[in-house]
A and B are shown apart, each in its own frame.
Chain A
Amino acid sequence: MTETPHDITLTLNGTPRRLSVPARRLLSDAIRHDARLTGTHVGCEHGVCGACTVLVDGQPMRSCLMFAVSADGAEITTTEGCTTATGGLGPVQQAFRDCHALQCGFCTPGFITTITAFLETNPDPTEDEAREAIGGNLCRCTGYQNIVAAVLRAAQIQREQSQLQGEQGQPA
């Protein structure tokens, strides 16, 4: 059989992208192979590991558990979009480096997106809250300890940045 392509638009890290995909194309594959943003990784394709987590309209979701066609029109943020406006490391990314919160880096993009969204709603988490926030993402390298530290460090970086912006009279 020949599959009918569906024309969809995904706004990927702020840039609208028109894609033509078969109905069964997983959102993870559409992001990676159709839009060629390969920062989002696929670790299990059954929704358990969290490596493929992206923000869909601001909410962390498993991109391997969605069909791209069903996400038509959505705003999607991947780890490539978690940088600063000028392309430098964003607060969560910087915190991961500061705290040695990654080793092989394969699961990292799913953590970065998850934590970015978490800090939006909880900018000053406790260590327990930080650990709970990453509770749905598997990492086989780090033992999580430094990722927990990175959540707290990212919150600190964000607070310092917004304080600095406040002092300089810029919009936070």
Chain B
Amino acid sequence: MKPAPFDYHRPGSVAEAVETLAATGGKVLAGGQSLVPIMSMRLAAPVALVDINRLPGLSEIEVDGGRVRIGALVRHRQLEQHEAAYAANPLLRRALSQVAHPTIRNRGTTVGSLVHADPAAEMPAVLALLDGSVGVVGKTAGERTIAAADFFVGPLESALQSDDLAVTATFPTPPAGTGSSWIELARRHGDYAMVGVGALVRLVDGAVESARVSLISVGLTPVVVEVTETCAGAPYDRVDWQAAQDAIVAAIEPEGDIHASAQYREHLARVLSARALQQALDDGAAKEAA
């Protein structure tokens, strides 16, 4: 299990990185926690790697009133432990703490995980749940922002072109009164989830104003389901999630694999969605009370 040979490039700027990607047809090396193993198994053999680990200005976490914005070199662990980011949007830490194991999070980047677009990964689902976006610089398509809804195209497929470099990700902060949660179930602690659910529930004056969930491992991309219609107006201590669960199950297309059957995944999606929504509701209620 040794990688095939490749040309190694270490550009000094984003512009140079994008030029190099275009010129070589290579792949971006950031944290490498997903790329290196598939190269070692020779399931991928890129002709060149463009190592962005030393690019300046991409390790920043910016938190302002409306969003948490991270650079492409922000490691999972760095964002997970960032107090201002947690204060603005606790969902980030809750989900990040479920990404593999801390040793992987020390090296792996959050933006890299978004670009990898694994439908079983946490952070794409979080970005989708929050209606976030990815900032991209491309040789062909130039500099632009791609909304999460357009970013995740298929399993392990993002909207990036081969000469694009994702430079930032932006996680909008949900409006006041919004509670959040992340719940997942994996075979072993730290494994990819059989099903995972992130939820946002906004309370206004003690009643549900809006609710939505984002699920992993139940479709080709993260699946976001708006369930406001099923529960809007319900007083916070008397919400029945049954209709929301039905809507969620109708929206997903789980497949079976060696770890979980399709039926079981559907069942888990139902169970975990109710748990996640309730946790988000309780979180919102606690915030409203505070």
Chain A residues in the interface with B (C-beta under 8 A): 1, 3-4, 6, 22-24, 26, 29, 45-47, 50, 53, 56, 59-62, 64-67, 69-70, 114, 133, 135-136
Contact = CB atoms under 8 A, between A and B. Distances in A.
Given A23-B6, A67-B29, A67-B36, 6 more contacts: A23-B7, A47-B33, A69-B8, A70-B51, A114-B103, A136-B101
B100 interface: yes
A26 B103 contact: no
A58 to B, nearest CB: 10
A62 B107 contact: yes
If over half of A's interface residues share one DSSP class (helix, strand or loop), that class is named, otherwise mixed; here it is mixed
B240 to A, nearest CB: 35
Contacts of B100: 136
A33 to B, nearest CB: 11
Contacts of A133: 102
B59 interface: no
Contacts, number: 87
A142 B36 CA distance: 29
B174 interface: no
A22 B8 CA distance: 9
Interface bracket on B = 20 to 34
A60 B53 CA distance: 17
A23 B5 contact: yes
A46 B33 contact: no
A147 B100 CA distance: 21
B20 to A, nearest CB: 14
B40 interface: yes
B55 interface: no
Interface in B81-136: 100-104, 106-107
